[in-house]
């Protein structure tokens, strides 16, 4: 019997060793499966975060594009207004103020394509206790560089009311 008991004990130990090995293999397989699942979850989370970042970046780029388009439209409007303003200033290239004896005068230089208009203006504010009459005389002539020159002379007359 001792022999039979020894054989059974040996078989029991071998069986236990096989069960331990199977349990260890199952544990390792479960850990591998867990690591894979965690890896997949992390990958999905990174992809979702990247998608959200891409969507937010697109929103920001679209907003910047719309803002740039608004600025370009404003710039176009300002350029048109400036062009109209330049036309309204009648082609003034530059102005120079000098003095003749005691009175200063300003000479305006105009672009060559300017069409001069001769005009005299009079203003007389009626609400002031003294009224002034201001007359402006304009004279245009073409200088040697092809610019029209405007010589202006003004006279002020003050009358008691």
Instruction: Report the alpha-carbon distance of residue 97 to residue 103 in Å, rounded.
Output: 11
What secondary structure, in 3-state letters, does 31-56 show? HHHHHHHHHHHHHHHHHHHHHHHHHH
Number of domains in the chain: 2
- Per residue in 70-84, pLDDT tens? 989 988 888 888 776
- Per residue in 2-12, pLDDT tens? 888 888 889 99
Residues 2, 73 within the same domain: yes
Residues 2, 48 within the same domain: yes
Residues 30, 53 within the same domain: yes
């Amino acid at each position: 019997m001792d022999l039979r008991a020894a054989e059974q004990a040996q078989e029991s130990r071998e069986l236990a060793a096989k069960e331990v090995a199977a349990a260890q293999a199952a544990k390792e397989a479960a850990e591998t499966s867990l690591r894979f699942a965690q890896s997949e979850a992390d990958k999905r989370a990174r992809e979702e975060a990247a998608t959200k970042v891409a969507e937010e970046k697109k929103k920001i780029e679209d907003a910047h594009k719309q803002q740039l388009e608004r600025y370009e439209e404003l710039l176009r409007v300002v350029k048109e207004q400036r062009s109209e303003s330049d036309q309204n200033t009648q082609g003034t290239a530059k102005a120079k103020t000098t003095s003749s004896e005691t009175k200063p005068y300003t000479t305006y230089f105009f672009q060559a394509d300017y069409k001069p208009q001769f005009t005299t203006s009079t203003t007389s504010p009626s609400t002031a206790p003294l009224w002034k009459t201001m007359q402006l005389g304009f004279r245009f002539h073409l200088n040697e560089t092809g610019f029209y020159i405007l010589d202006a002379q003004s006279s002020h007359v003050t009358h008691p009311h």
